[in-house]
Chain A
Amino acid sequence: TQLLEQSPQFLSIQEGENLTVYCNSSSVFSSLQWYRQEPGEGPVLLVTVVTGGEVKKLKRLTFQFGDARKDSSLHITAAQPGDTGLYLCAGGGDYKLSFGAGTTVTVRA
């Protein structure tokens, strides 16, 4: 089983501030996904990163895949209350995904 460690576990910030969530592993992944989940709903796929060193942007969200493909980060610029949720990184092989423990992000208005 490939383990993914996410940090921090909880993050509470004021609207307009920036935040970064980290996802680390000792294993190499062919790809990593980031999901956001709101209470009582299923996770929604935000992005897939596949190339070492890759940077992808989705509006105010910036995703980076480490050069060695063992880690990834999610950076949110000028966070808004709508960004509140549980952020999960996931990766794996043979079609199965291993999930990080998740980062609960709360953006206060």
Chain B
Amino acid sequence: GAVVSQHPSRVICKSGTSVKIECRSLDFQATTMFWYRQFPKKSLMLMATSNEGSKATYEQGVEKDKFLINHASLTLSTLTVTSAHPEDSSFYICSARPHEGVSYNEQFFGPGTRLTVL
């Protein structure tokens, strides 16, 4: 149980294009999903908290117009990197917190998406 998928797993795009990454909870409903960015050999940096049916909450320093987040249902959140540039190249990981049955701050992570902007 508690499986989270991400699509695509890898994407290469040209500078200036937009890229959409999907995060799905496969066997549970998630009121809250989280988007992280990870640099090589570094820890996870929280970008934003995504709540179903409401606007995402962005961490300080994260441009909300650059990283658009939509949480349209209890099983799907999307992150769109708009007008991507090489400095946006990174490993993006989503996580989901089950709607029910979780007492603590446990999150279940997707496998990540490697974005390379040329």
Q: Give the interface of A toward B (CB within 8 A).
A: 30-31, 33, 35, 40-45, 48, 50, 86, 88, 90-93, 95-97, 99-102, 104
Q: Considering residues A41, A93, A100, A104, which has the most beta carbons from chain B within 10 angstroms of its beta carbon? A: A41
Chain A residue contacts of B108, Cβ below 8 A: 45
Our pick among A35, A95, A99, A104 for the contact of B32 (Cβ within 8 Å) is A95
- A1 vs chain B, min Cβ distance (A): 9
A40 vs B6: C-alpha distance when bound (angstroms) = 13
Minimum distance in angstroms from B35 CB to a CB of chain A: 12
Of listed B44, B49, B91, B95, residue having the most chain A CB within 10 A:
B44
- Chain B CB within 10 A, most for which of A30, A43, A92: A43
**Bound form: Cα–Cα A44–B107 in Å:** 9
CA distance A35 to B36 in the complex (A): 15
Interface size for B (C-beta < 8 A) is 24
Query: Which of B72-80, B81-89, B110-118 touches A?
Result: B110-118
In the complex, A92 Cα to B95 Cα: how many Å? 15
Interface of A is mostly: loop
Among A40, A42, A88, the residue within 8 A (CB) of B110 is: A42
The answer to whether A48 and B104 have CB atoms under 8 Å apart is: yes
Find the residue from A33, A48, A97, A104 having the highest chain B CB count within 10 A.
A97
- Give chain B nearest CB distance to A87 CB in angstroms: 11
Chain B neighbourhood of A31, CB < 8 A: 104-105
The answer to whether the Cβ of B97 comes within 8 Å of any Cβ in the partner chain is yes
**What are 23 A-to-B residue pairs whose CB atoms are below 8 Å?**
A31-B104, A41-B111, A41-B112, A42-B4, A42-B95, A42-B110, A42-B111, A42-B112, A43-B44, A43-B93, A45-B107, A45-B109, A90-B105, A91-B105, A92-B105, A93-B105, A95-B97, A95-B105, A96-B34, A96-B49, A97-B107, A99-B44, A102-B43
Bound together, the chains give a CA A50 to CA B102 distance in angstroms of: 13
